[in-house]
Amino acid sequence: MSDTHERTEVACPGCGDRTVHEVLRPSGQATVRCTDCGHTHKTAVERTERVEREVVVSQEAESLAATRAFAEDETVAVGDEFVVDTPEAILQVRVTAVETGPEQRTETAPAAEVATVWSRVVDNVGVPVTVHPKEGDGRNRQTESHTMRVPGAHEFVVGEKVDLGDEQAEIVGVQIRADAPEYRHEKLDHEGDIAFARDVKRVYARDTQSSAWSVW
């Protein structure tokens, strides 16, 4: 087990390529272990000053505070993802805001200037699902809200069905989070559109027996 959280990218004799390595023993010739193949070897590692910064981690309605070491010249930006080691668990998070001073937030800043990094968990997420009732079922049902707890890599596909306990619903729209990268639109409503759970703000669905209905 390593006694440091430092990682570096160096050439790996096992992989035959440059990969991310965990630094086991820092020194002039550091002992490192490849995170891809597990090969341990010695190599020269450039040393950079590191700074500890507070990271606030949000998961649904709960938040907790942790710390993480950043290279002093590293840029921290909204949308960055990294691992945070908290007392409760090791979590993959995405940066949602960078705070450089009291009530001073920005999209990006050097780690040396950062006071607090705000983030949310993306490896396991709770996704709100709004379900419109089917028409003409005679029960005067109202729109229902559910929360699906799924891995961050789970795919929501417009036109496909989702299981919500003892009922099924068809996805008709997906609203994308503002911090999500590489989506053409904030709202996806064409059949076959795909979004990862970690990027989703809300899923809109309808009972499988209902007629056409627009969520927008």
Written as six digits, the tokens of 118 are 């705000």
d(CA 117, CA 94): 10
Q: Are 144 and 137 in contact (CB under 8 A)?
A: no
Containing structural domain, residue 74: 50-122
Q: CA Rg, the chain, in Å?
A: 22
pLDDT digits (tens, 9 = 90+) for 133-167: 876 554 556 788 999 999 999 999 999 999 988 88
pLDDT digits (tens, 9 = 90+) for 69-126: 898 888 999 999 998 988 888 899 999 999 998 889 999 999 999 999 999 999 999 9
d(CA 159, CA 153): 18
Residue 212 domain flag: no
What is the number of domains present in the chain?
A: 3
pLDDT digits (tens, 9 = 90+) for 54-69: 999 998 888 999 999 8
Q: Are 66 and 55 in contact (CB under 8 A)?
A: yes
DSSP letter, residue 208: T
Name the burial class of residue 146, with classes exposed (0-12), middle (13-18) and buried (19+) by CB atoms within 10 angstroms of its CB: middle
Q: Are 189 and 173 in contact (CB under 8 A)?
A: yes
Among residues 87, 103, 122, the one where a domain terminates is 122
Q: Are 162 and 177 in contact (CB under 8 A)?
A: no
Residues 153 and 200 in one domain: yes
Residue 143 domain flag: yes
Percent of the chain predicted with pLDDT > 70: 90
Residue 214 domain flag: no
Give first-to-last CA distance, the chain, whole Å: 51
Give the pLDDT of residue 4.
44
Residue 14 domain flag: yes
Residues 112 and 146 in one domain: no
Residues 131 and 192 in one domain: yes
Q: Are 64 and 127 in contact (CB under 8 A)?
A: no
Written as six digits, the tokens of 187 are 């709202």
Residue 1 domain flag: no
